[in-house]
A and B are shown apart, each in its own frame.
Chain A
Amino acid sequence: AQTVTQSQPEMSVQEAETVTLSCTYDTSESDYYLFWYKQPPSRQMILVIRQEAYKQQNATENRFSVNFQKAAKSFSLKISDSQLGDAAMYFCAYSQDSNYQLIWGAGTKLIIKP
């Protein structure tokens, strides 16, 4: 069975600096998708970034980028120029191609220090 592991329950970073959140996963499949979602205190789950496993190029969305290492089954999220509004729980998730079910990590709480 697929699993997703986020080993950092909490991370903190100074405003304007860069932080990397870790995620590893376990699967025997070759086609799948990986996601990072953000959940601020407002509780809405917001899609941050999406990566297709067949693409070698790392996905980027403005200040957010991923380091996707397929062989190592690692999918870390880098947030550059951290802002106060980035403070939230960040969840890593996995979805097997053509299978709707998302497998979730336990989440990492990101604290931004002003």
Chain B
Amino acid sequence: SAVISQKPSRDICQRGTSLTIQCQVDSQVTMMFWYRQQPGQSLTLIATANQGSEATYESGFVIDKFPISRPNLTFSTLTVSNMSPEDSSIYLCSVEQGPPDTQYFGPGTRLTVL
């Protein structure tokens, strides 16, 4: 399976600021995904990022709040904009690789907003 890294691994931010999370994969992948995991909860898909096209956002998530870039087949960024304490979560990227419909995840970014 792909080796996936995320930066930063954790951060503490002030409300009203923005944070950009990077996701790097060691091989080319078509589909990358961004998830949010709120404390004690399961995962919620934010958006799907395919190289060469605009990200597709799930209901409840908008581009102005969570802009995503996908400049090539091994890299993506998620920005959490104008943060509030409600944005405190773990953010994970994943890629679809290998057996169909199988996703592998990065180590996650733990975000705390004060």
Residues of A whose CB lies within 8 Å of any CB of B are 33, 35, 37, 42-47, 50, 91, 95-102, 104-107
Contact, CB under 8 Å: B108 / A44: yes
Contact, CB under 8 Å: A46 / B100: no
Count of inter-chain pairs, beta carbons less than 8 A = 51
Task: Give the residue of A45, A47, A98 whose beta carbon is less than 8 angstroms from that of B43.
Answer: A45
Q: How far is the CA of A50 from the CA of B41 in the complex (A)?
A: 22
Q: How far is the CA of A50 from the CA of B94 in the complex (A)?
A: 16
Task: Give the residue of A33, A45, A91, A99 whose beta carbon is less than 8 angstroms from that of B102.
Answer: A33
Interface size class of B (residues with CB under 8 A): 20 to 34
Residues of B whose CB lies within 8 Å of any CB of A are 1, 31, 33, 41-43, 45, 48, 90, 92, 94, 96, 99-108, 110
Contact, CB under 8 Å: B101 / A106: no
Task: Give the residue of A33, A45, A96, A100 whose beta carbon is less than 8 angstroms from that of B105.
Answer: A45
Q: Which residues of B contact A107 (CB under 8 A)?
A: 42
Q: How far is the CA of A37 from the CA of B107 in the complex (A)?
A: 13
Contact, CB under 8 Å: B48 / A100: yes
Contact, CB under 8 Å: B42 / A44: no
Contact, CB under 8 Å: B104 / A95: no
Task: Give the residue of B33, B48, B107 whose beta carbon is less than 8 angstroms from that of A44.
Answer: B107
Distance in Å: Cβ of A67 to nearest Cβ of chain B: 20
Distance in Å: Cβ of B4 to nearest Cβ of chain A: 9
- 5 CB contacts below 8 A, A to B, read A37-B105, A46-B105, A47-B102, A91-B42, A95-B101
